Structure 1
Amino acid sequence: MSELFRVMPPALSKLPSTLDREQVRLLEIISLPLLNEGKPSTWGRVLDLAEHKAGMNAETAETVLHSLPRVGSSHQVGMSYGFTAPPERYMNETSEIRPTVAAGLVLPDLNAMVSTPFLSVLHHMVELHRNRPIDMVSSEPVRAVLRSGELAQVMSRMRPEFIAVLPELFRFEPYIQADHTSMSPDGEWEWRIKRNIFDYKDADSLDAYVTKTCELVSKSNQPTIYSSGPSLDSIVSSHFNNSPIVGQVGVEVGTTDAQPTETPSGETRGAYVKEAIITELEDLDGAGDLRTDKLVGLLRELNFNCANGQPLASNSLLRAVMDHVPPGFGFPVGTTFATVVAQAKWGHSDRKYLKKLTDFRDQGDDVMHRQMDRRRSRIDMDDMPQAAAVNAMLDGLVVALQKRKAAATAP
């Protein structure tokens, strides 16, 4: 399949409330499995239905898919939000594609069955956060917890099938985040609500929710400008400044802070690995006699190179991360990442994410081990795996290390 090439339009700050006929038709087709079966569609199924119901061939369907408006980064690196979850750069028959809650703006059926009940849950989450008991003694922050069983009691008219898929819906809403999630074998789940849910306290309609999400996504893709620190002249004594330094050469030292840079389309890359996950891994240093300092260093360097558009370094660092983590999942030193994916306990969606990381290994080998020849490197930032896949793997690592830490401290 040839790569789609198109001129990038100006960056959007808000999703439109209307789409053209082909866009709406494709979005309806993408939404059917979620509405009928509570699960995402595969691109192969979308192509079958697009051909049968809308007369679109594969090339037209992919062109329409990539024409759907998005706010934020149009690349795999950086945060974005649109009517669907971010599509893969190269769609294949098994690629998953799903609508977001925002699709309810243009699809009445999705609005009624997904977006409207989602808003009810969102308002409930805001109230749980507002009413959480605050411990005035502990130094740890207090988090409210959304539980599927309690939600079913509070919202007795809500369909059980909808409650069951809520964690999957949350995963593709960029600011409905959790400090920790868990699911029991019988399907009951918990979602520990992060503080940023309070940003949605005034989101009293679907349009207000989508507008706020677009605002937050746009803000996340803007570079942070830090004011310069104090001059050395103000903190170094005049005696030191005037003293001769024998046998040394003055060297100009540049900053090493990660400065997000613009992509060719004028966008700014956001964080590839979520800072909250890096912080959790940092806090888990020493859990079960495993040190996380090297992993944290690799992840911070990965974010730095992604933010600055360095594809070769980014590919190499991600490959190093994948080779580094197997012991954290309870496997012996020397275990391959593919073995972890195959043998560790993963949820259905997480396993699909991790399969994509396993497939990335060949690309990582190409970057790290292909010897120089006459050809130019064609690897760029768009060839990096989806950030969601990397964050899903690291979130699973956090859970595994938390269990090791709890087991080590248990009486």
Structure 2
Amino acid sequence: MNTLFDAVITQDQRSLLTRIAGPWLATGEWPLWGSIQHYFDARRLDADEVFHSLSRVGVAGPFAAGYGFTAPMRAPISATDRVRLTVASSRVLPEVRMVVGEPFVRVLLHMVKLHADRPVSDHEVTPAQLRSAELMAAMPHLKPWFVQVLPDLLSYEPGISNGGGATLGDGTWERTIDRSVMQFRDVLSVEDYIARTCEIVTANAAQFAPLVAAVETPPVAEPERAPYIDGGLLHDLEEAAAKTRWKVHKLLALCRGLNDSYTAGNPYACAAMIRSILDHIPPLFGHADFKVVASQHVFTVKRTDKSHAQKLAAFKDIADDVMHRPIGPSVPRISMVDIPEPVRLNAVLQEVVAILR
């Protein structure tokens, strides 16, 4: 299970991530932890407790290793430490996704191309270089702010090795690109990037995990599955429902039922609920069928969310199998792995919220 996609973000966690993002998006500088602590102290909350409750993948050690929505920080965090977000925070902060996450993926693919197109010799290795001036010329749509913060951002993404670099006197910079970027050659979206980074971090953690003695150990209870529909998104849907002419009662009931079925691990109920939601919402988009929504609606995040919608439309065959296959001599083979990733329906429901508003 990928906890960065499956985890429910609490209101306090979202507030923490937003407080970290604010100064950075405004000035390009990360805030001091002391300022974050002061904000939470005034609200009778423990910032350190909220920070360390954030989901991570990889090493679950005492120093917050692995990969998560924030860069790792040793505990206890000093008031003078700078606290940073990662590209993964794009998954929960739309403002970071738009200004940072999506441009980052485009630059990463540009880095892949630079590495693949570099001169090759049997006698000399010539690494590719990412230079700020050349990057602005090649991708003029990038904002100067993003280009300025990119070297620091790259330094805290664990799947991309630090090939070295320099900042020149005129403020421009250059960075060596090594072959670690080739791990991301098939990445097409922010979700793809986060998922691939989680795979890399998890695989690296497994290599260094201590060997387990070959002795019988008591069974470990499986951790509780997080709700399918993000808690913050469900709250936004409820708020939007109160201010629209559309009657959203059934949709909210289906979403809550899906969450209950998903946390209980019931694949048949999950498939039926997802199919019911997809059959229920097309009129909001001005269509009668979800396949038409997936093929014709212009989503806010065009390519990524359209891809999510098309994958959900293709899920209809499995849902039909769940709902219409009659009883027979063979055992049905539907399991939780056949249920679409939560990020896909969450993206479509985020579009529903935008339409209702």
Name the TM tier (shorter chain): 0.5 to 0.7
What aligned pairs does 1:189-268 form with structure 2 within 5 A after superposition?
189-223=173-207, 260=210
What aligned pairs does 1:104-253 form with structure 2 within 5 A after superposition?
104-135=90-121, 137-138=122-123, 140-223=124-207
Partner residue of 2:5 out of 16, 20, 24: 16
Matched residue pairs, number? 212
* Cα separation, 1, equivalents of 2:162 and 2:25: 25
Structure 1 residue 124: deviation in Å?
0.6
Q: Deviations over 1:124-158 (max 9, x none)?
A: 111111211212x31x4332111011001111121
Partner residue of 2:83 out of 73, 76, 97: 97
1:82 corresponds to: 68
Check conservation: 2:64, 2:72, Cα contact below 8 A.
no
TM-score (norm 2): 0.56
Could you tell me which amino acid in structure 2 is paired with residue 123 of structure 1?
A: L
Structure 1 residue 223: deviation in Å?
2.9
Structure 1 residue 166: deviation in Å?
0.7
* Cα separation, 1, equivalents of 2:49 and 2:156: 22
Check conservation: 2:127, 2:177, Cα contact below 8 A.
yes
Q: For the aligned residues, what is the CA RMSD? A: 2.2
What aligned pairs does 1:284-323 form with structure 2 within 5 A after superposition?
none
Structure 1 residue 261: deviation in Å?
5.2
Q: CA distance change for structure 1 residues 167 and 68 in 2, over 3 Å: closer, same or farther? A: same
* Cα separation, 2, equivalents of 1:193 and 1:125: 7
SS at match of 2:4: coil
SS at match of 1:121: helix
Q: CA distance change for structure 1 residues 171 and 123 in 2, over 3 Å: closer, same or farther? A: same
Q: Deviations over 1:193-234 (max 9, x none)?
A: 11010110111111110110010001111137xxxxxxxxxx
2:33 corresponds to: 43
Could you tell me which amino acid in structure 1 is paired with residue 30 of structure 2?
A: P
Q: Deviations over 1:143-200 (max 9, x none)?
A: 2111011001111121112111111001110122232211111121111111010110
* Cα separation, 1, equivalents of 2:164 and 2:19: 33
SS at match of 2:198: helix
Larger radius of gyration: 1
Q: Deviations over 1:26-48 (max 9, x none)?
A: 11111111111111111111123
SS at match of 1:222: helix
Structure 1 residue 94: deviation in Å?
0.7
Structure 1 residue 56: deviation in Å?
4.0
* Cα separation, 1, equivalents of 2:155 and 2:163: 12
Q: Deviations over 1:255-281 (max 9, x none)?
A: xxxx8457xxx9xxxxxxxxxxxxxxx
Structure 1 residue 92: deviation in Å?
2.3
1:405 corresponds to: none
SS at match of 1:178: coil
Check conservation: 1:74, 1:80, Cα contact below 8 A.
yes
Determine what percentage of the aligned residue pairs are the same residue.
35
* Cα separation, 2, equivalents of 1:213 and 1:147: 24
* Cα separation, 2, equivalents of 1:133 and 1:214: 31
Check conservation: 2:63, 2:75, Cα contact below 8 A.
no
Check conservation: 1:70, 1:82, Cα contact below 8 A.
yes
Structure 1 residue 14: deviation in Å?
4.3
2:47 corresponds to: 61
Structure 1 runs not aligned, ≥5 long = 1-11, 225-258, 267-411
Structure 1 residue 89: deviation in Å?
0.8
Q: CA distance change for structure 1 residues 19 and 78 in 2, over 3 Å: closer, same or farther? A: closer
* Cα separation, 2, equivalents of 1:26 and 1:133: 45
Q: Deviations over 1:80-139 (max 9, x none)?
A: 10000012211121122111010010000111111111111111111111211212x31x
